Chain A
Amino acid sequence: MEKFDKVHGVAAPMPLINIDTDMIIPKVHLKTIKRSGLGVVLFDEMRYHDHGGENEDFVLNKPAYRQTEILVAGDNFGCGSSREHAPWAIKDFGIKVVISTSFADIFFNNCFKNGILPIVVEEEHHAILMDDAHKGENARMTVHLEDQQITTSDGVVIEFDIDPHRKHCLLNGLDDIGQTMEKDHHIDKFENHASQARPWV
């Protein structure tokens, strides 16, 4: 996985709450057997008209937000289905950071597996960041993972929390499976014990 360091880029506002993974990527696009190429259908039903063609009112279609790298979204972002196609599409579009007041559990986990940084902030900070995101392409936000800081276009610094293990993995681009396989002896030991204690499993 690519190492995650710092993002300095356009932040787009999506204040709607409960943006679910069906909105992020509708099921018609889940029939792929690949992970790549889904950026073009990110937010498909909001982004394109029923008859095709872009909906120019949708934030990511506006000229200022076509190069969005940071999404500032409403509460409970990513609820619903476990489809990892949601973060795959977000990543493929070019978005590297999603900021909200809360995320659905599975989506939150899926982000880290794909080098996307989901950041949870308090409501008052969220309001500041949402305002900043509304300013458009000239207002670039900076997200610094090492320092755990978001800096708005006018220099307001907001600190954020992140699980230290997850931070370490993102910063170093570490692959979970490889790391777990290094603990193989613990898994062997557990299996030996469990096969005695619960042989019916």
Chain B
Amino acid sequence: MSPKTLYDKIWDAHVAHEADDGTCLLYIDRHLVHEVTSPQAFEGLRMAGRKVRAPEKTIAVPDHNVPTTPDRVNGIENPESRIQVEALDKNAKDFGIHYYPVHDVRQGIVHIVGPEQGWTLPGMTVVCGDSHTATHGAFGALAHGIGTSEVEHVLATQTLIQKKSKNMKVEITGKLQPGVTAKDITLAVIGETGTAGGTGYVIEYCGEAIRDLSMEGRMTVCNMAIEGGARAGLIAPDETTFEYVKGRPHAPKGAQWEAAMDWWKTLYTDEGAHFDKVITLRGEDIAPVVTWGTSPEDVLPITASVPNPEDFEGGKVDAARRSIEYMGLEAGQKLSEVEIDTVFIGSCTNGRIEDLRAAAEILKGKKVKDGMRAMVVPGSGLVRLQAEEEGLADIFKEAGFEWRLAGCSMCLAMNPDQLQPGERCAATSNRNFEGRQGRGGRTHLLSPAMAAAAAITGRLTDVRELM
């Protein structure tokens, strides 16, 4: 048998039908659903008189729209948001799918809840009507975002019509330097490949620096595979993975655990398997990074300066010019001198307990700079609870951060958490697009520790100066 990549193995185990032209029906093990991209899909089912084929494999949670202020217990004020959440409440009930409603302590961002509850397991196929589904690839699960028509397709048939992607390997060798995190790895990779570099590929991340990451760090890396254009990101499961999964509410137990482990241990890329594209970065070379522009590929070390658009080629010249103007920056300006007024810590990229620990470590005994708005939005109710138990919430609050309830919040600013035009935010989220965090808002992506450092100084800051 010819050697296979991890992607090949998971793919092969899920093909329910293959047509002569290579179009496959890929069976889906877990379907995650949220309120924004699902109402039209459920409506489609109702209109056609169809039901959900595998409700036991379908998990729903509201996250995009929900307010994160404590007063949300009184209901959602925005009528459109309320209607969407109520629609999900009803759809979950009518179609009999697993559901974590807004008031459930387990509610949170769908990509944080799935792993936390043990729904996401190695070797699975996982989809969701959200591009950051790539997150679940950290478990060695083939996970990707889909559109609403595909959400309806999966609800009705538990399959997706797919053609296989190509294999790409991203290897991060060696060790990371102090102050450098999973977020810096994933941004540095996008800086290297560009946002279209992964188009048509599934990426497998490997190498010592990836192996050394916790599950939470691995989720951060895979989360942004989509920002590099890839269909999915994968990391082969290992002891770190098994340790994380074991004992979770929906993880297998007893004999089933043993059977699962037997299979999971075969989920790695065989020696000599073919990759269509290979990128290698040295862990030692990766610095704490920030974005300067309006595309996640606009990444530079914090020690660098805003580039000159003329230094780029092709369409990037105009794009960079537009970005720098939108961001209100000057070519040649030092990134560490860029003043900010808002800090957002949270999102499916960096809203897990380790992210909050990393930020709290920097903030301990310090204060947010006067006049700044800073908020922490834990990724789930359980992350919030744990952070309170560990004393992290007190550190944030004493430093001057707002301590919020779980949700997507200012990552996409669909709820009331938004930037005003011209406001500049240091954000641990995943997209710095124009208007992403609010019309006219300016976003610099960075790690939780870097966000904490920026909150203290009021400017983009090299976290290593505060360590």
- Whether A17 pairs with B149 at a CB distance below 8 angstroms is no
Question: What chain A residues lie within 8 Å of B159 (beta carbons)?
Answer: 180, 187
User: Residue A161 at the B interface, CB < 8 A?
Assistant: no
Q: Mark A176-201, 1 if CB is under 8 A from B, else 0.
A: 11001101101101110010011111
User: Residue A15 at the B interface, CB < 8 A?
Assistant: yes
User: Residue A50 at the B interface, CB < 8 A?
Assistant: yes
Interfacial residues, chain B to chain A (CB-CB below 8 A): 13, 16-17, 19, 21, 23, 25, 27, 29, 36-37, 39-40, 43, 48, 50, 53, 57, 64-65, 78, 80-81, 83-84, 87, 121, 123-124, 129-131, 144-150, 152-153, 156-159, 161, 163, 195-196, 199-200, 226, 229-231, 252, 256-257, 259-260, 263, 295, 297, 314-316, 318-319, 322, 412-414, 421, 431, 433-436, 439-440
Q: Assuming the A-B contacts A18-B195, A23-B433, A84-B148, are A201 and B124 also in contact, with contact meaning beta carbons closer than 8 angstroms in the complex?
A: yes
Report the minimum CB–CB distance from A71 to chain B (whole Å): 16
- Whether B27 pairs with A191 at a CB distance below 8 angstroms is yes
- Whether A76 pairs with B65 at a CB distance below 8 angstroms is no
Interface size class of A (residues with CB under 8 A): 35 or more
User: Residue A9 at the B interface, CB < 8 A?
Assistant: no
- Whether A113 pairs with B147 at a CB distance below 8 angstroms is yes
In this complex, the member of A81, A82, A187 whose beta carbon has the largest number of chain B beta carbons within 10 angstroms is A82
Taken together as a complex, chains A and B put the C-alpha atoms of A32 and B37 apart, in Å, by 10
Taken together as a complex, chains A and B put the C-alpha atoms of A143 and B447 apart, in Å, by 46
In this complex, the member of B19, B40, B257, B260 whose beta carbon has the largest number of chain A beta carbons within 10 angstroms is B40
- Whether A105 pairs with B414 at a CB distance below 8 angstroms is no
Taken together as a complex, chains A and B put the C-alpha atoms of A180 and B156 apart, in Å, by 9
Q: Mark A79-122, 1 if CB is under 8 A from B, else 0.
A: 11111100100000000000000111110011001100000000
- With beta carbons under 8 angstroms apart, the residue of B16, B19, B83, B434 that contacts A187 is B16
Q: Assuming the A-B contacts A177-B50, A198-B260, are A109 and B435 also in contact, with contact meaning beta carbons closer than 8 angstroms in the complex?
A: no
Interfacial residues, chain A to chain B (CB-CB below 8 A): 15-18, 20, 22-23, 26-28, 30-35, 45, 50, 74-76, 79-84, 87, 102-106, 109-110, 113-114, 163-165, 176-177, 180-181, 183-184, 186-187, 189-191, 194, 197-201
Q: Assuming the A-B contacts A76-B195, A187-B158, A199-B256, are A194 and B318 also in contact, with contact meaning beta carbons closer than 8 angstroms in the complex?
A: no
Taken together as a complex, chains A and B put the C-alpha atoms of A199 and B260 apart, in Å, by 8
- Whether A31 pairs with B147 at a CB distance below 8 angstroms is no
Question: What chain B residues lie within 8 Å of A104 (beta carbons)?
Answer: 196, 199, 229
Q: Given contacts A176-B149, A187-B17, could you give 9 more A-B pairs where the C-beta distance is less than 8 Å?
A: A22-B433, A30-B64, A105-B199, A106-B144, A110-B147, A180-B153, A180-B156, A183-B16, A191-B27
- Whether B21 pairs with A198 at a CB distance below 8 angstroms is no
- Closest chain A residue to B17, Cβ basis: A186
Report the minimum CB–CB distance from B13 to chain A (whole Å): 8
Q: Is the interface of B mostly helix, strand, loop or mixed?
A: loop
Taken together as a complex, chains A and B put the C-alpha atoms of A32 and B414 apart, in Å, by 12
- Whether B435 pairs with A26 at a CB distance below 8 angstroms is yes
Report the minimum CB–CB distance from A187 to chain B (whole Å): 5
Taken together as a complex, chains A and B put the C-alpha atoms of A164 and B21 apart, in Å, by 8
- Whether B83 pairs with A33 at a CB distance below 8 angstroms is yes
- Whether B83 pairs with A82 at a CB distance below 8 angstroms is no
- Whether A30 pairs with B149 at a CB distance below 8 angstroms is no
Q: Assuming the A-B contacts A27-B414, A199-B259, are A163 and B163 also in contact, with contact meaning beta carbons closer than 8 angstroms in the complex?
A: yes
- Closest chain B residue to A87, Cβ basis: B147
A-B contact pairs, 6 of them (CB 8 A): A23-B435, A102-B196, A177-B50, A186-B17, A187-B17, A198-B263
- Whether B157 pairs with A181 at a CB distance below 8 angstroms is yes
In this complex, the member of A20, A33, A87 whose beta carbon has the largest number of chain B beta carbons within 10 angstroms is A33
- With beta carbons under 8 angstroms apart, the residue of B23, B200, B319, B433 that contacts A80 is B433
- With beta carbons under 8 angstroms apart, the residue of A74, A76, A84, A197 that contacts B147 is A84
Question: What chain A residues lie within 8 Å of B314 (beta carbons)?
Answer: 17
Question: What chain B residues lie within 8 Å of A105 (beta carbons)?
Answer: 199-200, 229-231
Question: What chain B residues lie within 8 Å of A83 (beta carbons)?
Answer: 36-37, 147
Give me the 4 closest cross-chain CB pairs, A-B, nearest first. Answer: A200-B252, A113-B149, A31-B80, A190-B16
- Whether A80 pairs with B131 at a CB distance below 8 angstroms is yes
Question: What chain A residues lie within 8 Å of B81 (beta carbons)?
Answer: 31
- Whether A22 pairs with B150 at a CB distance below 8 angstroms is no
- Closest chain A residue to B413, Cβ basis: A27
- Closest chain A residue to B263, Cβ basis: A198
- Whether B27 pairs with A190 at a CB distance below 8 angstroms is yes
- Whether A50 pairs with B149 at a CB distance below 8 angstroms is no
Question: What chain B residues lie within 8 Å of A20 (beta carbons)?
Answer: 295, 431, 433
Q: Assuming the A-B contacts A22-B435, A76-B196, A200-B260, are A181 and B149 also in contact, with contact meaning beta carbons closer than 8 angstroms in the complex?
A: no
Taken together as a complex, chains A and B put the C-alpha atoms of A181 and B315 apart, in Å, by 44
